A and B are shown apart, each in its own frame.
Chain A
Amino acid sequence: MIINNCKKIVGGSGEGPAIVTAQPINFLAMVDPKTGMITDPKHDLHNKSIKGAVLIFPFAVGSSVGAYAIYSLREYGTAPTAVVCVKADITTSSGCAIADIPVVNLPVGAPVIKQGAIARVDADAGKIIVKD
């Protein structure tokens, strides 16, 4: 499956298993930078790691310092390889810009990407390729 017309927010490309949530993420309060694990028991990604994954989520919420939390993931080697948002927010965009993590927005009406499916995000081409 190929999803075209993804808006490029931060350029580059990355590949990995898709980790998908419909819930927003607070990067400062919910993610352990040393492991990349989501630590909030109320989040549906609780105890899952975003390390090496293509992280697919609506947008970030909460602390403005979340941008540094994203940069920390990069420094600890626990960052996602690419980020796909419904609507990328300022925290995600700025953090990923400094951490060199490609970011795209999904086009309206994009098909659902399954949990764990191997996805390749090519932000410069505005494209996500999902292996079936």
Chain B
Amino acid sequence: LQLTRDEEEALAGKNGEALASAYRILVAIGEATGAQKLVPIKWAHVSGVNYNTIGDAGAQFLDKFSRTAKVAVRTTVNPMGYDRSHPEDISSRFQEKQSSILKSYERMGVTPSFTCTPYEVFSIPQKGTAVSFAESNAAVFSNSLLGLMTNKESALSALASSVTGKAPLSDLRMEEARNPTVGIESAYEFGNELDYGLLGYFTGKVVKDSSVAFGGISRLSTIEAKALSAAIGTSGSCGMFTLGDAKEKISFGKKEAKKVMDELNTAEEGDIITLGSPQLGMNELDLLARLSEGKKFRKRCIIFCSRAIHDQAAKIGLAGKLESSGAEFMCDSCTCLTPYVSNEKYDSVVSNSVKGAYYLNNSNKVKVALKDFRTIVREYVE
């Protein structure tokens, strides 16, 4: 990796310790991905906002880092741990810790988006634009469907790109890596978004390359593409997919789908329904409202979405429809690792998200009944 003179000086600490750390990160990830130089990026999306994910060590790091670092490009941020307009169930300790993290990000000058689906909220730069997205579903979705160019960044590498405005020119920021040599051939009848989640989780586990091709799938709805992107990002290191064939083929069928279900589907029923990992967008809210129109959820149902999407949905009456069916909105947060869905309150939850199921099982330590949207409505709405 060759740095310019300015970059070398920043690495040596000429512009302060925070920028020096940022360049240390860029050098490490540049070496890891075989980059020869750093290039400018237009947009950084940073993860590591929820106190439950970064903990005290992360909060202290950000507090110090943000004293001298400022964003150099548009920087959006991932969900935090809870919705500040619903602090009821949240301990004051958690609120204080979360507040310290928010202050650090504010000091740096980020856009307080608190979304894991920035691609559904913000204007999208033109195809081929280099960006730096940490949230894995956003990286996979943006590479695959929007033509943006990002590696599957970490919370810290996207932060480093945010404050320097640069990222290594490597891997998925180069055309070569975006043409998959490994393909998944599906002999499987995809009926719903959950099926695509199963495919994605399987793919992440078996494909070690940065990109993968899906054969036997001619088109994907936005809802399906989100489920697929999120699941790929959860289980592996692959950061992009295309539709079509590739040289090397791996098959995906009923047996492979069942294996994923056996791993992640750990309950038959749930105490509550939790939707939104990734946070729901307008398409999903619309589908859910149509399916449950005039009926009521017979279990508590929490919908996680971004404030921006919620406000749009409220404006056209969509949020109201869902609320009249008994669903509750939680903004700025998501299913994974939120104190709203803890094992002190619930033994098991119902969700349609493979990504959600992975983190609910492994991090929140609650059991998960994995069911698709339509099945959830059929079984829990009357």
Chain A residues in 8 Å Cβ range of B27: 97
Q: A67-B155, A67-B157 are in contact. Are A61 and B236 (CB under 8 A)?
A: yes
A68 touches B58 (CB 8 A): yes
CA distance A46 to B152 in the complex (A): 27
Q: For the complex, is B134 an interface residue (Cβ under 8 Å from A)?
A: yes
Q: For the complex, is B237 an interface residue (Cβ under 8 Å from A)?
A: yes
Q: A30-B362, A40-B362 are in contact. Are A7 and B31 (CB under 8 A)?
A: yes
8 Å CB contact of A95 from B56, B156, B359: B156
CA distance A26 to B55 in the complex (A): 16
Q: A29-B359, A63-B136, A98-B24 are in contact. Are A68 and B61 (CB under 8 A)?
A: yes
Q: For the complex, is B47 an interface residue (Cβ under 8 Å from A)?
A: yes
Over the window 146-175 of chain B, the binary record of Cβ atoms lying under 8 Å from chain A Cβ atoms (1 yes, 0 no) is 000001111111101000000000000000
Over the window 38-73 of chain A, the binary record of Cβ atoms lying under 8 Å from chain B Cβ atoms (1 yes, 0 no) is 001010000000000000000111111111100110
Name the interface residues of A13-46: CB closer than 8 Å to any CB of B: 24, 26, 28-30, 33, 40, 42
Chain B residues in 8 Å Cβ range of A88: 32
The 6 A-B residue pairs with the shortest CB-CB distance in the complex, in nearest-first order: A75-B57, A97-B28, A67-B154, A72-B57, A67-B156, A64-B134
Q: For the complex, is A129 an interface residue (Cβ under 8 Å from B)?
A: no
| Beyond A64-B134, A103-B28, 6 extra complex contacts between A and B, CB < 8 Å | A63-B47, A64-B47, A71-B57, A75-B56, A76-B57, A91-B154
Chain B residues in 8 Å Cβ range of A103: 28, 32
Q: For the complex, is A125 an interface residue (Cβ under 8 Å from B)?
A: no
Q: For the complex, is A9 an interface residue (Cβ under 8 Å from B)?
A: yes
Chain A residues in 8 Å Cβ range of B28: 9-10, 93-94, 96-97, 103
Over the window 229-249 of chain B, the binary record of Cβ atoms lying under 8 Å from chain A Cβ atoms (1 yes, 0 no) is 000011111000000000000
Shortest distance between the CB of B74 and any CB in chain A (Å): 18
Q: For the complex, is B185 an interface residue (Cβ under 8 Å from A)?
A: no
Q: Interface residues, chain B, CB within 8 Å of chain A?
A: 21, 24-25, 27-29, 31-33, 47-48, 53-58, 60-61, 134-136, 151-158, 160, 204, 233-237, 263, 358-359, 362-363
For B135, give the chain A residue with the smallest CB separation.
A64
A90 touches B61 (CB 8 A): no
CA distance A24 to B60 in the complex (A): 28
8 Å CB contact of B55 from A8, A62, A68, A97: A68
Looking at B58, B235, B236, B359, the one whose CB has the most chain A CB atoms below 10 A away is B58
For B59, give the chain A residue with the smallest CB separation.
A68
CA distance A121 to B29 in the complex (A): 19
Q: A7-B31, A9-B32, A93-B29 are in contact. Are A71 and B136 (CB under 8 A)?
A: no
CA distance A64 to B156 in the complex (A): 8
8 Å CB contact of B151 from A63, A65, A90: A90
Shortest distance between the CB of B13 and any CB in chain A (Å): 15
CA distance A32 to B358 in the complex (A): 17
A28 touches B53 (CB 8 A): yes
Chain A residues in 8 Å Cβ range of B157: 67, 90, 93-94
CA distance A65 to B218 in the complex (A): 33
CA distance A32 to B236 in the complex (A): 20
Chain A residues in 8 Å Cβ range of B61: 68, 71, 98
B363 touches A29 (CB 8 A): yes
CA distance A104 to B232 in the complex (A): 26
A29 touches B358 (CB 8 A): yes
CA distance A97 to B28 in the complex (A): 6
Shortest distance between the CB of A37 and any CB in chain B (Å): 14
For B158, give the chain A residue with the smallest CB separation.
A64
Shortest distance between the CB of B86 and any CB in chain A (Å): 23
For A100, give the chain B residue with the smallest CB separation.
B24
For A74, give the chain B residue with the smallest CB separation.
B57
Chain A residues in 8 Å Cβ range of B24: 97-98
8 Å CB contact of A61 from B25, B55, B235: B235
Shortest distance between the CB of A7 and any CB in chain B (Å): 7
CA distance A75 to B237 in the complex (A): 26
Shortest distance between the CB of B126 and any CB in chain A (Å): 25
Chain B residues in 8 Å Cβ range of A94: 25, 28-29, 154-157, 160
8 Å CB contact of A72 from B31, B33, B55, B363: B55
CA distance A105 to B24 in the complex (A): 17
Chain A residues in 8 Å Cβ range of B53: 28, 63, 65, 68
Shortest distance between the CB of B270 and any CB in chain A (Å): 20
Could you give 13 example pairs across A and B, Cβ below 8 Å? A29-B359, A61-B237, A64-B48, A64-B155, A65-B54, A72-B58, A88-B32, A93-B25, A93-B29, A94-B154, A98-B24, A103-B28, A103-B32
